[in-house]
Structure 1
Amino acid sequence: MSNPIADQVAALTQTMATQAPTDALETLHAEQVDLDAAGVPADVAAAGTALPDASLLDAHGNPTTLRQTCAGRHAVIVFYRGAWCPYCNVALRTYQRDLVAGLNERGVALIAVSPQKPDGSLTTTEANNLSYPVLSDPGNVLGHALGIVTRPNDRTLDAQTSLGLDFAEINADGTPDLVMPTVIVVDAEGVVRWIDVHPNYTTRTEPVQIIEAVSQTVG
């Protein structure tokens, strides 16, 4: 397997420290400290929760559903914030390298979902050379079902705006609502068998953890 996501994020953070405005970085760091302190929300869905068969959009804007995309298979579903998030791109590229082949051998689908518009999903797919489906969840239907929807505070939104991010334009529902980076394993009936939520978006589920969870829950 390639370098752990944590190591790649550490290198990314060092690079960003030399490129992004200091004020914005300080604000984002303060947000990360607050997210660590708050931890995983108490109402996050537990194993055994059934996900709704949400109406989604593929990277070309075509309607699809979660069930249609899973096509009767068990699935690993990765919830990420958007194409604009460098930490998300590190994770999604790593999952392409280190998960796709192993999951295919087990007959398990890998699917990425975010609240962004389909053009953001297409950017994510093309920029990271992803072979697995990248879908848009307008209105965060799946995110709300899992209890992982969050909204940055005003100071953070101002910092993100200063970096050129306009969530009213980026997100399919025109709100600044995001999802906490989360990986779930669902069985063929759409029931959550394992969930790993990361309130601090700079941390992610490592591929080895996902493979172990798949092995222990759906084979």
Structure 2
Amino acid sequence: MELQESLSRLKEKIEGGMPPEFVKIMHQATRDLEASGIGDGILKAGDEAPAFSLPNHNGEMVSSEELLQKGPLVITFYRGVWCPYCNTDLAFLKRFKKQFDEMGVNMVSISPQTVANNLKIVEQQRLNFDLLRDTENTTAGQFGLKWEMVDPLKSLYRDTFKIKLDEYNGDDSWTLPVPARFIIGTDGIIKYAEYSVDYTKRPNPDVLIAELEAV
């Protein structure tokens, strides 16, 4: 089964069990984010990738500069352990890790949540790659992905779904990254970029293999 098919089934199940007014708020928030023009500021192929040094799920610092000395780098931005769509995405990416290794490619995922929550999902899914802690989405912002959740979506998450981002992320910014993937060449230049303002839609990870073969 392809990733998007899994996500579509997941969306049908989740939204099918919600009151229509909740679904309306969520869909409107996605439309508003798309209309904001955030996509215009997201880095694209040919741009220089921001350098970063972030703690992984074990609290060990991971540097993009050091990773790029070993080979190309795949970066995926992950919203958090509370997001079933993102967790499904990570599970699919995990399947391609062996191929990445054989190609000499490193992969990391970057999330705003705390190190403890990153460790939680790594252990739950037995992930075979680093999940990095991006405090207040600083690195996500450098890639053009950072956005702030505001009412009524914020109230829906906090008060109804009991998803308190301030607790998950360890800060009160209520910001998230737009889900995205990048391939960075050893020269520090972005070779491939994809993003989806609609978090329920993601391309299958196998597109990364074809792109990496051209790097």
For normalisation by structure 2, the TM-score amounts to 0.90
Identity in percent: 25
Instruction: Please name the residue that 2:82 is paired with.
Output: 84
Distance in 1 (alpha carbons) for counterparts of 2:108 and 2:58: 15
Question: Shift of residue 155 of structure 1?
Answer: 0.6
Instruction: Please name the residue that 2:109 is paired with.
Output: 112
TM-aligned CA distance change 1:36 to 1:144, over 3 Å: closer
* Structure 1 unmatched ranges of 5 or more: none
Instruction: Please name the residue that 2:126 is paired with.
Output: 129
Larger displacement relative to structure 2 (120-129 or 108-117): 120-129
**1:116/1:170 contact within 8 Å kept:** yes
Instruction: Please name the residue that 1:203 is paired with.
Output: 201
List per-residue Cα deviations over 1:21-73 (Å, max 9, x = no partner): 54433321222343455565212212232223322111022333223455522
Question: Shift of residue 114 of structure 1?
Answer: 0.8
Instruction: Please name the residue that 1:148 is paired with.
Output: 145
CA RMSD of aligned residues (A): 2.0
SS at match of 1:47: coil
**2:109/2:130 contact within 8 Å kept:** yes
Larger displacement relative to structure 2 (82-91 or 186-195): 186-195
Instruction: Please name the residue that 2:30 is paired with.
Output: 32
**1:183/1:205 contact within 8 Å kept:** no
Aligned pairs for 1:167-182 within 5 A: 167-182=165-180
| Aligned with residue 185 of structure 2, among 184, 187, 197 | 187
Larger displacement relative to structure 2 (29-38 or 45-54): 29-38
* Structure 2 unmatched ranges of 5 or more: none
SS at match of 1:72: coil
**1:111/1:134 contact within 8 Å kept:** yes
State the one-letter code of the partner of 1:15. Answer: K
SS at match of 1:140: helix
Distance in 2 (alpha carbons) for counterparts of 1:20 and 1:69: 43
**1:40/1:197 contact within 8 Å kept:** no
SS at match of 1:185: strand
For normalisation by structure 1, the TM-score amounts to 0.88
Number of residue pairs the alignment of both structures matches: 214
Distance in 2 (alpha carbons) for counterparts of 1:105 and 1:64: 21
